[in-house]
């Protein structure tokens, strides 16, 4: 929950920065995203492994880029959507309620059956 709050605060901050000077700021955000991707790629030689902070940064910053600029990202748009779905899935996890009528204790069941046997006219 804390991670999602930090993520939303980060996205809001980026939106505030971009809103004032859209064309210049979009280029700046794109450069920041590209530099961050290069940093990630420099850490390893094989297939890039992204940390959760990398994923959060790329997901937040890519929301501010125009759709045409998103094609050069290190990850595909489907990957960004998958990360978002996973974040939502983690956010909305809660204990599921049991379906149907709750079970009755054995002691209460025996009491009801005994009362029914002793008083057949009760219905």
pLDDT in tens, 79-118: 878 877 887 787 776 667 777 888 889 999 999 999 999 9
Angle at 62 between CA 57 and CA 27, to 5 degrees: 105
Give the Cα separation of 56 and 58 in Å (integer).
Answer: 6
The answer to whether 120 and 96 are in contact (CB under 8 A) is no
Q: Please tell me which residue, 18 or 117, carries the higher pLDDT value.
A: 117
| 22 confidence band (pLDDT: 50, 70, 90) | low
Give the Cα separation of 25 and 68 in Å (integer).
Answer: 15
Residue 60 exposed, middle or buried by CB count within 10 Å (0-12, 13-18, 19+): buried
Does residue 3 register a pLDDT over 80? no
Residues with Cβ < 8 Å from 63, sequence gap 6 or more?
Answer: 11, 14
**Domain ranges in the chain?**
2-91
What's the confidence (pLDDT) of residue 59?
76
């Amino acid at each position: 929950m804390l991670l999602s709050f930090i993520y939303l605060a980060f996205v809001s901050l980026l939106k505030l920065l971009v809103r004032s000077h859209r064309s210049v700021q979009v280029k700046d955000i794109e450069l920041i995203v590209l530099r961050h991707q290069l940093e990630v790629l420099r850490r390893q030689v094989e297939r890039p492994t992204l940390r959760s902070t990398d994923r959060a940064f790329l997901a937040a910053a890519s929301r501010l880029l125009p759709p045409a600029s998103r094609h050069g990202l290190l990850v595909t748009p489907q990957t960004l959507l998958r990360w978002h779905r996973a974040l939502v899935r983690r956010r909305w996890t809660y204990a599921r309620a049991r379906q149907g009528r709750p079970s009755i204790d054995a002691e209460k069941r025996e009491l009801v059956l005994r009362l029914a046997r002793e008083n057949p006219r009760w219905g």
